[in-house]
Amino acid sequence: MSPFRTFARRMFRYRLAFVGAVVFAFVSAGGLGAGLVSMGPLLEIILQGKDGTTLRSLAEQHVASGAFPPLPPGVVERLPTDPLEGVVLLMSGLLALTVFGATANFLHQFLAGSVVARTIARIRLEAFRHVVSLPLSRVVVRGPAELISRINRDAAELQNGLMALLGRSIAQLTRGLAGLGAALWFDWRLTVAALVVAPPIGVVIRQFGRRIRKSARGALRSQEDLLRSCNESIQGLRGVKTATAEKAAMRRFNRANRALLREELRIRTARALASPLVEALAVAVLAGLAVIAARQILAGSLDLENFVLTLGSLGIAGASFKPLTALANDIQASSAPAERLLEVLQLPPESRPDRPLPILARHRSTIAFERVCFRYPNAERDAVEAVDLEVAHGERVAIVGPNGCGKTTLVSLLPRLLEPTSGRILIDGVDIAGVNLRSLRRQIGVVTQEPVLIRGSIRENIVFGLAGIDDESVRAAARMARAADFIERMSDGYATEVSEQGASLSGGQRQRIAIARAILRDPAILLLDEATSQVDAESEELINAALSEFTAGRTAILIAHRLSTVRSADRIVVMDAGRIVDDGGHDSLLDRCEPYARLVRTQMVIA
C-alpha cells in the first residue's frame, strides 16, 4: 500500500462523517443528473409546443412507452396542458433541484473538510509524539529543522491531497458521472464512442502526475534546507551580528531559496502543461464525436434534438471531469510528503511501550560505568572509549577535560539520552538498559549550560514535565534555588511571562529557574553540565549555594570549568580523548596528572 493510501485510510476513523460526505456528494450529483434529464421534455415543449406538445402529453407518452415507471394515480392528470405553464413548472423544478443540490454540496464540503482536518491533526500529533520519543542521537543526526518541516510542512501538503481526494475529487467525479448518465439516457451509442476515445487523456494525466510527484519530493527537501538556514541564522542572530556574518547568512539562505524556487518552477511547468493538453485532447474528442453525429443525423439514424442533449450532457461531464486533472496532480504531489511522514513514523523509538520493563528503584548505593564506549553515527572514532567509573551514593564528582574529550557525551549516557555502543551502566547493580525509561529519568535532575525554557509563565517553566504540583511546593523549590527574590520582584510574580528561550531573563535567572525545576523533581541523581559557565560572579555564588544545599544526600556529577566548582567536589575525574586518564583530589592531581595541571593553567576560570 502506498504511503498516501495509508494515511487516506485513516479518514475511515471518522466513519459517520466520511460516509455522509460521500452520500451528500452523490445526492448533489443526482440533482444535477435529474436536472439534465428534465431538459429533454423542456426542449421538446419549447421546440414542439406549437404542434400541441404539452408536459402532460409528454408524460403520458413516456409512461405508455415504458421509458418512465408508472406514476402514482392522479399525477399525470394534474400536469399542465398549457406549454408555457409546463415550461414554468419544469423551471421551478430545476430551481428546486438547484437549491437541493447546493445544500447537499455544502454538507459534502463541510463534512469532507471536517474529516480531513481531524485526520491531519491526529497525524501531526502522532508525528510529534513519535519524534519526541526518538533517540537523541537520531534527532541530532537528522537535525531539528528536517523533523520540524516534516511535522508541519509535510502534514500541510498531505492535507491538500486528502482534501482533493475526499472533497473536490468526489464532487467533480459524481457530477461528471451524473452528466455521463444523462448522456447515456439521451443516446448511449454516442456516449460509448466518447468513452472509447477518452483513454489518451488518462495517460497524459498519469505522466504529468509522475513528474509532479518527483518535483514535490525535491521541493520538500529544499524547504528543509531553507528552514534550517533560516533557523540557524535567526536563532543565532547574536553570533551572526558579532561575527559580521550577515552577508554569509544571506548567501546560505539565498542558495537554499533558489534551490526551492527551481523545484517549484518544475512543478509549475508540469501543472501548466497538463491542463491545456487535456483540454486540447477533450476538444479533439468532441470534434470527432460531432463528425460521427453529423453522419448519423444526415443518415436519419439520430435526432438532432437527442444529439444536442447528448453533446450538452457530455460537455457538462467533461467540464466536471476537467478539474480532476489538477486534483490528480494535487494527490500525486501529496504522495511525496506522505512518504516522508511515514518514514518518520517508522523510525524506531528509544523505548517500546509494548515491552513492559521493570521499574528502577530509587538510587541508594552506586553508579557504575563498565567498559562503556560510544560512537556517534558516521564518526571515525569513539567519543567515549572503554570508560570504567564508579560513583558512590551521595558523592559529588567533577568531570574535567579539554573541549571535545567526551565529558557531555559520558554524562548523557546516564539518563539514556544516548545508548552505549558497548559496555553497560549500572545503578545499584541494575543495568539501566533493561529498566523502564521513565522510572530512570524521573530520578535524575539535569541542569545544563543552556537550560530549556518555554514561552509561558515562570511557574509553568518550573513545573515543566510535572503534574499536580501545588503553589507552595513551587515557591519552596524557588527559595532553595535562590530564585524567589527576583521572581517576587517581577510585576506578576510567578505568573510573569517568559520570552521564547528565556530571552527576557538573565543567564543567572535562567539557571536558577532550571535548578528550581530540578529541585521540584526531588531527584536522587543530579547532573550539572557547566551550569555556572556563563553567569556573573554574583549569580555563580547564589547558584553554588543553592547546589551545595540541594546536593546534600544526593549523587551529583558535575562538568565544570570553574576552579571553585571543581575544588568543591569530593573527587575529580580527568578525561582526555574519550578516556578517563586519572581521578582524585585537586592537590594530588596537580602533582601527578599533567593533563589536569595543564587544564588548571590554561582553561579553568579561577574564581
Under the banding of pLDDT at 50, 70 and 90, the label for residue 371 is very high
Element (H, E) at 368: strand 366-374
Between 64-78, 80-94, 460-474, 555-569, the lowest mean confidence (pLDDT) is in 64-78
Residue keyed to cell 406514476 = 71
Average pLDDT over residues 247-269: 76
> Domain 3-213+275-345 - what CATH class?
mainly alpha
Most confident of 241-250, 279-288, 365-374, 378-387: 365-374
Rounded Cα distance, 352 and 12, in Å: 27
Asked whether residue 209 carries a pLDDT value surpassing 80, the answer given is no
Helices (H), 143-169: 144-149, 155-163
Asked whether residue 45 carries a pLDDT value surpassing 80, the answer given is no
Average pLDDT over residues 543-552: 78
pLDDT of residue 343: 86
Q: Which residues contact 25 (CB under 8 A, 6 or more apart)?
A: 104, 105, 108, 170, 171, 174
pLDDT of residue 555: 92
Rounded Cα distance, 66 and 382, in Å: 87
Under the banding of pLDDT at 50, 70 and 90, the label for residue 368 is very high
pLDDT of residue 87: 61
Return residue ranges of the chain for CATH 3.40.50.300: 444-522
pLDDT of residue 354: 53
Asked whether residue 441 carries a pLDDT value surpassing 80, the answer given is yes
| Set of cell numbers at residue 382 | 569513539
> How large is the greatest C-alpha to C-alpha distance in the chain, in angstroms?
124
Please name the amino acid found at residue 169: S
pLDDT tens per residue, range 269-281: 766 666 566 656 6
pLDDT tens per residue, range 566-595: 888 889 999 988 999 999 888 888 888 888
Strands of the 444-447 sheet, one edge to the other: 444-447, 525-529, 555-559, 396-400, 571-576, 579-584
% of the chain residues with pLDDT over 90: 10
Asked whether residue 390 carries a pLDDT value surpassing 90, the answer given is yes
pLDDT of residue 605: 54
Is 579 in contact with 407 (CB distance < 8 Å)? Answer: no
Mean pLDDT of the chain: 76
30 against 359, higher pLDDT: 359
Under the banding of pLDDT at 50, 70 and 90, the label for residue 385 is very high
Pick among 3.90.79.10, 3.30.1360.120, 3.40.630.10, 3.40.50.300: CATH of 444-522 = 3.40.50.300
pLDDT of residue 426: 94
pLDDT of residue 306: 61
Return residue ranges of the chain for CATH 1.20.1560.10: 3-213+275-345
Please name the amino acid found at residue 546: A
pLDDT of residue 50: 47
pLDDT of residue 410: 92
Asked whether residue 288 carries a pLDDT value surpassing 80, the answer given is no
Let me know how many helices (H) and strands (E) the chain has, helices first: 25, 12
pLDDT of residue 483: 85
pLDDT of residue 560: 79
pLDDT of residue 46: 47
Average pLDDT over residues 377-402: 89
Most confident of 27-31, 459-463, 535-539: 459-463
Q: Which residues contact 111 (CB under 8 A, 6 or more apart)?
A: 17, 18, 20, 21, 24
DSSP 481: T
| Set of cell numbers at residue 589 | 592531581
Helices (H), 300-322: 304-321
* CA-only gyration radius of the chain, Å: 37
Asked whether residue 123 carries a pLDDT value surpassing 80, the answer given is yes
